[in-house]
Amino acid sequence: MRLPDMDERLRGMLADPVASTLEELDRFVLRELELWGKVIRAQKLKID
């Protein structure tokens, strides 16, 4: 569902709102976790 007022708020935060299905969102989140997990492990980053 696209809500014009929400799109405007997100754009104000320099976000790019995208309409997608739950399955597409799931795949996106899993890809991001894999990508950033590799970066974190490669740099040996730890939470303080």
Among 32, 3, 34, 35, which residue's Cα sits nearest to residue 19? 3
Tell me the per-residue pLDDT of 1-48, one tens digit each, with 9 for 90 and over: 678 898 899 999 999 888 889 999 999 999 999 999 999 999 999 998
Q: Structure pTM?
A: 0.64
Residue in the structure block whose two tokens are 């299905």: 21
Q: How far apart are CA 35 and CA 32, in angstroms?
A: 5
Interior/surface letters 16-25, b for 16+ CB within 10 angstroms, e for the rest: eeeeeeeeee
